[in-house]
Amino acid sequence: MKVLMVCLGNICRSPLAEGILKKKIAERGLSWEIASAGTGNWHIGEPPDPRSQAVAARHGLDISRQRAMQIKPEHLKHYDLILAMDQSNYNNLVNMAQTEEDRAKIRLILDFCYPGENRSVPDPYWDDNGFEQVYTMLEQACEQIVEELVPR
Ligand code: 4NP
């Protein structure tokens, strides 16, 4: 299974989603390919935002070695599941998809917890206090991903 987490900058939300899912998959002895990307290009090559690194560390997760990259159409071909953090990321990804097959891989990550409700993970970039809530949402979504997609 190859999973790509996508947000706007690839420094706040999707690096957390990548780190959380990687840990859950490793704990189960599986070797999925899990990565993250941003639709924007401002932060290419940068480590995650210090506030994301801090909330991850509080939960025993080290995401400091991740580096931001920008989503490209080839990623939509390579990965099996492309998980958008919010509706805007989702719309950008759907517009980038060149085939119906690629389009079908794109979902909102919170769909795993709240199917059909089109819920978004709020962008915490301008809100220092938003990171803990974002972590909780992503932790719950990744737990549900594992429940649904890891064979028992
Ligand atoms: P992210 O948050 O999409 O969760 O990584 C943001 C990071 C940077 C910016 C916006 C959102 N920015 O405008 O630089």
Determine the Cα–Cα distance for residues 92 and 119; give it in Å rounded to an integer. 16
pLDDT in tens, the chain (152 residues): 999 999 999 999 999 999 999 999 999 999 999 999 999 999 999 999 999 999 999 999 999 999 999 999 999 999 999 999 999 999 999 999 999 999 999 999 999 999 999 999 999 999 999 999 999 999 999 999 999 999 88
Looking at residue 152, its pLDDT comes to 84
Beta strands 106-108 and 33-38 are unpaired
Task: Determine whether the shortest distance from the Cβ of 123 to ligand 1 is under 6 A.
Answer: yes
Beta bridge partners of 38: 7, 70
Task: Determine whether the shortest distance from the Cβ of 86 to ligand 1 is under 6 A.
Answer: no
Looking at residue 94, its pLDDT comes to 98
**7 catalytic, yes or no?**
yes
**86 catalytic, yes or no?**
no
Nearest residue (CA) to ligand 1, atom 10: 9
Task: Determine whether the shortest distance from the Cβ of 12 to ligand 1 is under 6 A.
Answer: yes
Task: Determine whether the shortest distance from the Cβ of 88 to ligand 1 is under 6 A.
Answer: no
Nearest residue (CA) to ligand 1, atom 8: 9
Looking at residue 125, its pLDDT comes to 97
Other residues' Cβ atoms within 10 Å of the Cβ of residue 74: 8
